[in-house]
């Protein structure tokens, strides 16, 4: 195991899986959340999926922190 946090673990280095696009999505997601904006309708399917995954992981992180 290379990295683990809560119920998530990997046996590969996560840094090698991070792309410039995925970093951009994380930055956009953080900005969107901090500003309390509604998700714009002009996002493509991949960006919408990225935001949904990030939202789900954020909720899981909050739940694990509360335990």
Q: What is the DSSP string of 4-23?
A: EETTEEESS-GGGG--HHHH
pLDDT score recorded for residue 14: 67
45: its two tokens:
């399917």
Residue 2 and residue 12 in contact, taking contact as beta carbons nearer than 8 Å: yes
Does 31 have pLDDT greater than 60? Answer: yes
Band the pLDDT of 67: cuts 50, 70, 90. Answer: low
Find the mean pLDDT for residues 53-58: 88
pLDDT score recorded for residue 66: 60
């Amino acid at each position: 195991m290379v990295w683990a946090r809560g119920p998530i673990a990997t046996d590969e280095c996560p840094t090698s899986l991070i792309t410039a696009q995925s970093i951009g999505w994380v930055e956009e997601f953080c900005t969107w959340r901090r500003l309390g904006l509604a998700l714009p309708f002009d996002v493509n399917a991949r960006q919408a999926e990225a935001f949904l995954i990030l939202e789900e992981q954020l909720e899981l992180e909050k739940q694990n922190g509360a335990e």
